[in-house]
Amino acid sequence: MDTDGYNDANRAFLQAFMGRSSMTLEDAQPILAAILSTHERRTVDPEDITQEHFTSYISAANTAISPFDLEIRSTLRQTQPDPSTTNGNTTETTPDRVYALVNTTSDPITQLSTTYTADEIAFVKRILDFMFDTNNTRLCEGMAISSIQAIQQAKVSALDRRHSENPATQATQGGAAQSLSMTQAESMMRNLVDEGWLEKSKAGIFSLTPRALMELRSWLISTYNDDDGNSRRAGRIKFCAACKDIVTVGQRCGERDCKGRLHDHCVRNFFRMQQAEKCPVCKQDWPGDKFVGERAIAASNRRQSRNVNSHSNASASADVSRGSASQSSPVLGGVDGADDDDNDEQEEEDGSDEE
């Protein structure tokens, strides 16, 4: 196959790539096979397209687009096991490597402004705040949002108004945002899925796609790992001790204040090289059943409903009845009666509503 120089096949590949938000080798095989069949006037079978071919087309494309501050980057998909069927057992499949076109200079929130209104962008910002702030507590690192919770973000709350007075968020919002209607919010969520920013799990929970994580990486860190004296926001985004990428789906250390996190697929490789399964940061035993992402939400929901049953806590039961329409009853940290250091956590959770 002719992969020397930059030719029509390279141009066709880049065009095909730009028409999608992300691509895996599996996606690329039929595309490259079709392009090469035309270019070389012979039938190329998708099976014949190897990772090597794909990589060479990616690298040629990168050379072509670099003057435009664009780069095709890749990351391994964080495994997304169905929480209803997993009890902490990680599957042995190798995750896909996902390639996506990333703008290397501009802020992704600013990029959205070419397509969306200021109020719609403010809504996206509230969705992200919910995922990485509200639903990302010491007790439950959900880093995701249910459909119901997403629609609830249509309305600008008093809290958000206060937020938008903060100069840091002001810059991206340009003044006080107006609420969206429920229909507008629903259609925004659909757009964000269609455009490859969000993906929706079987249980109806939205999380960031690999592409969004690549594109939003530095924005997420600067927004949620703010270290300028606002301690509550410090260190909300955590990194895999093995691959150093952001963990929004994976496993966490049993010690709540420890920053030890690992992706499911990294756990296997990481502990294969170790004597024992110890946390890479604090060296305590790695529990293997403490999660980040949707499984953390599922576990927290179970704790919460146990707690409601045993204590009939008024505020907790109100929470549950609000979310009872779906399996994904909202978890905002919630009450954790099962834990021994309960009081301390309760305090933490209560406090997280301020800001």
Residue from 333, 336, 308, 311 nearest 320 by CA: 308
CB of 257 to Zn ion, least distance (A): 9
Shortest distance (Å) from residue 212 CB to Zn ion: 17
**Residues 6 or more apart in contact with residue 183 via CB below 8 angstroms:** none
Q: Is the dihedral of CA 114, 120, 126, 130 positive or negative?
A: negative
Work out whether 243 is an interface residue with Zn ion (CB under 5 A): yes
Q: What is the dihedral of CA 44, 49, 55, 58, to 10 degrees?
A: 40
What residues between 267 and 296 interact with Zn ion by CB under 5 A?
Answer: 279, 281-282
For residue 265, the minimal CB distance to Zn ion (Å) is: 7
Rounded CA-CA distance 88/183 in Å is 37
**SS3 call for 204:** coil
253 contacts Zn ion (rule: CB under 5 A):
yes
| Distance (Å, whole) CA 73 – CA 92 | 25
Q: Give the Cα separation of 28 and 23 in Å (integer).
A: 6
Minimum Å distance from CB 324 to Zn ion? 35
Rounded-to-integer distance, Cα 260 and Cα 252, Å: 6
Q: Which is nearer to Zn ion, 11 or 268 (CB)?
A: 268
Minimal distance, residue 154 CB to Zn ion, in Å: 34
SS3 334: coil
Contact range with Zn ion by CB under 5 A, out of 173-181, 191-199, 233-241, 330-338: 233-241
- Please identify, using beta-carbon distances, which residue of 260 and 330 lies nearer to Zn ion: 260
* Residues contacting Zn ion: total by CB under 5 A: 12
To the nearest whole angstrom, how small is the minimum distance from the Cβ of residue 260 to Zn ion? Answer: 3
Kindly state whether residue 151 participates in binding Zn ion, applying the rule CB under 5 A.
no
- Candidates 240, 267, 297, 332; binder of Zn ion (CB under 5 A) is 240
Residues that bind Zn ion (CB under 5 A): 240, 242-243, 253, 255, 258, 260, 263, 266, 279, 281-282
